Structure 1
Amino acid sequence: MPLELDVLGLVLLILAGFTAGWVDAVVGGGGLIQLPALLLVPGISPVQALATNKVGSIMGTSVSALTYYRRVGPDLRTAAPMALAALAGAFGGAVLAAQIPGELFTPIILVVLLGVAGWTIARPRIGAQTDLRWSGRGHHLAAASLGLGIGAYDGLLGPGTGTFLVISLVSVLGYAFLPASALAKIVNFATNAGALMFFVPHGAVLWGLGLALGAANLTGGYLGARMAVARGSGFVRVVFLVVVLALVARLGWDVLSG
């Protein structure tokens, strides 16, 4: 079935890409906006939507990761093993994407997010400053394990990946929200790349649509990263809670309507 996208639909899709890029740069979760918007395009298949979403997202995460790197200086000794493991996990998740129905995972993710939201609200000082749980090899092993698991989720489904990365970096590893968001962008770039390593050779990407989304995502990502750096961890924490609660609402609706 050919795509049927009029000018208004394209404008709304690009607006969704811009907003997704901004949200993703601040705290992750841009896929919550961008992927559902793609799924509304007449004639698009779920796998095409997922693959095209990755093209838009990788362009946004590339510019936000670079902006964070220049202004925050995230620890690449943590980012490297986490990103490499996430890339491998995302490739594996993409392989499974056409075989496992995503709705099986939705109720589990919903419960986890509700717990995360309650935990973050109940502990207002969490993520205010960096207090690492481990050092040396233990820290890098924990980072790689988190990257592998979240990368697999990103390749399989996608929405909320950046948010899960921030959650894990703050709650498990002990980073403050701002450096956690900076690290999450580097890792999220790797997860997008890992998924595209599978989707591109299989012809699942709609390149025209993906590049248009990518330009909008890139612009939103640049502005979002600059705003997050300027306003600090407190601002990121507030946006984080808003995105988590929005993701809970979205997934809750999927469960109830499914």
Structure 2
Amino acid sequence: MIDPLAYPIMTGVAVVSGFVDSIAGGGGLIMMPALFFAGAAPLQALGTNKLQSVFGTGVALRNYWRSGLIEWRPNRLTVALVFSGAVLGALVVQLIQTRLLNLIIPVLLVASALYILLSPRMSDEDAHHRATSKGYAPIGSAIGFYDGFFGPGTGTFFSTTLVGLRGYGLTKATAVTKLFNFSSNVASVLLFALGGHMLWLLGLCMAVGAMIGGWLGSHSALKLGARLIRPLLVTISLALTVKLLWGYFAG
């Protein structure tokens, strides 16, 4: 049973989560504990988080698209494979335990944070790509699977691999990340809804906050570029690492 007071509070939390998620990903780091505190069961928390996130991501995606940073044609295969991966991930997570991920994912997040801090490629300048759009698609599919299965840190994985492998500048990588995030979020919402793991009223209230946060965050990223995105990516990566390791060894 969700306390009526939770609805406006969670809508406010969704503004913050949507802002962070539209820039660096990691909004789940804020939203998931809040959903548990509000009384959602684990699968309900995952599903409801995806429901509010798809609205916030959609608003951010629209802003990045209108700015000219997103190209559909080179990325359409990856979008399709991200969607398929997320479908599979959302199916699997409803069947198995996720405790092992709490130990594996921090290693990946620390590696991402170090890459963001130390790589000279983490700027707004495009560089020579190391993978074609087709070559990147399987990597996108794997990240999509992770997003459907668990989620937090997905935006960081997309952004860092798009910079490192596709040669995108950081702002463009952030924009394209929202395209992939939107695809995986839609897939996850469909699967969790079909599984009956959705708090619809709470999720739709939170969606209002997520859209406000997504609008504010994407406009801030477009204005400030790598000066804002780079430190926020590092902060989110390290914060999520601490949270997951604490949960693993304390739980």
TM-score range, shorter chain: over 0.9
For the pair 1:56 / 2:52, whether they are aligned, the reply is yes
Percent of aligned pairs with the same amino acid: 33
Report what 1:97 is aligned to.
93
Q: Decide whether the 8 Å contact of 1:72 with 1:182 is kept in 2.
A: no
For the pair 1:22 / 2:22, whether they are aligned, the reply is no
Q: Decide whether the 8 Å contact of 2:148 with 2:184 is kept in 1.
A: yes
Moved more, 72-81 or 26-35: 72-81
Q: Decide whether the 8 Å contact of 1:142 with 1:173 is kept in 2.
A: no
Report what 1:5 is aligned to.
3
Q: Decide whether the 8 Å contact of 1:72 with 1:229 is kept in 2.
A: no
Report what 1:257 is aligned to.
250
Q: Decide whether the 8 Å contact of 1:83 with 1:187 is kept in 2.
A: yes
Q: Decide whether the 8 Å contact of 1:133 with 1:174 is kept in 2.
A: yes
Query: 2:109, 2:86 → 1: CA distance?
Result: 20
Moved more, 51-60 or 30-39: 30-39
Paired positions, count: 251
1:117-170, CA deviations, whole angstroms, 9 ceiling, x for partnerless residues?
122222255334111424xxx512223112210110011111121121112111
- SS of 2:38's equivalent in the other structure is coil
Report what 1:179 is aligned to.
172
Report what 2:122 is aligned to.
126
The letter for the 1-side match of 2:103 is P
Report what 1:229 is aligned to.
222
State TM-score, norm by structure 1: 0.92
Query: 2:178, 2:112 → 1: CA distance?
Result: 20
State TM-score, norm by structure 2: 0.94
Structure 2 stretches lacking a partner, 5+ long: none
Structure 1 stretches lacking a partner, 5+ long: none
Query: 1:189, 1:221 → 2: CA distance?
Result: 12
Report what 2:76 is aligned to.
80
Query: 2:9, 2:75 → 1: CA distance?
Result: 34
CA RMSD in angstroms comes to 1.5
Deviation at 1:6, TM superposition (A): 4.0
- SS of 1:40's equivalent in the other structure is helix
